[in-house]
A and B are shown apart, each in its own frame.
Chain A
Amino acid sequence: ETGVTQTPRHLVMGMTNKKSLKCEQHLGHNAMYWYKQSAKKPLELMFVYNFKEQTENNSVPSRFSPECPNSSHLFLHLHTLQPEDSALYLCASSQQETQYFGPGTRLLVL
């Protein structure tokens, strides 16, 4: 349960705010992922990092900016978000095929 952690767990922000989500994995994995989960699209892949290099950007708007300083940490920088960006943001990590998820950050954009 504590292999992948995310902070904060809940976040409320205005459309003009800038905030960052943090993910940390303690499993020694070399790949990390950001997903958006909403009622409309249950598990929507946003970004993939392998060995700190971004290998996939799934047509995500530029108001979401990922950062992966090392294989254990992943950030998602948020700015000028829209109310429709309100969702659960899940981080995951993997060594091979199996992904392990963090608890998510519940984001509300007002």
Chain B
Amino acid sequence: GENVEQHPSTLSVQEGDSAVIKCTYSDSASNYFPWYKQELGKRPQLIIDIRSNVGEKKDQRIAVTLNKTAKHFSLHITETQPEDSAVYFCAASTAGNTPLVFGKGTRLSVIA
């Protein structure tokens, strides 16, 4: 089955700096890669996703890149702000309602 590895487990950055979180996956059939943000005491919320027919996707300060050959994908947050502090989860799945396989999460702290 699919296995998703996520690094680092914790990340601290200064406000205004960039943050990068990386994930690798094992199943070459996976073609959907979402990223979730979970603030303290709240539900995980989808912030961006990418499908395997696209190499990069941007939404304001966040972007995701996908390298299908190497089977890894990354989340990039630019100009970080204190409200970006949260736990971020990557995930992978194949098409349809195949369950997402999640990474173990990255706790991002943005220091003002």
Contacts and interface: CB of A to CB of B under 8 A. Distances in A.
Interface of A: 30-31, 33, 42-43, 45, 48, 50, 55-56, 90, 94, 96-104
B99 A33 contact: yes
Contacts of B25: none
A96 B96 contact: yes
Nearest to A49: B97
A42 B104 contact: yes
Contact of B96 (A97, A99, A102): A97
Interface residues of B, number: 21
A102 B34 contact: no
Interface stretch (B38-46, B58-66, B76-84): B38-46
Nearest to B94: A97
Main secondary structure of the interface of A (DSSP, over half): strand
A13 to B, nearest CB: 21
Contacts, number: 48
A56 B45 contact: no
Interface in B69-112: 87, 89, 93, 95-100, 102, 104-105
A98 B49 CA distance: 9
B35 to A, nearest CB: 11
B99 A56 contact: yes
A100 B46 contact: yes
A55 B98 CA distance: 10
A102 B43 contact: yes
Nearest to B97: A31
Contact of B43 (A30, A33, A96, A101): A101
Contact of A104 (B32, B43, B45, B87): B43
Given A42-B89, A42-B105, A43-B102, A97 B95 contact: yes
A43 B43 contact: no
Given A33-B99, A42-B105, A103 B43 contact: yes
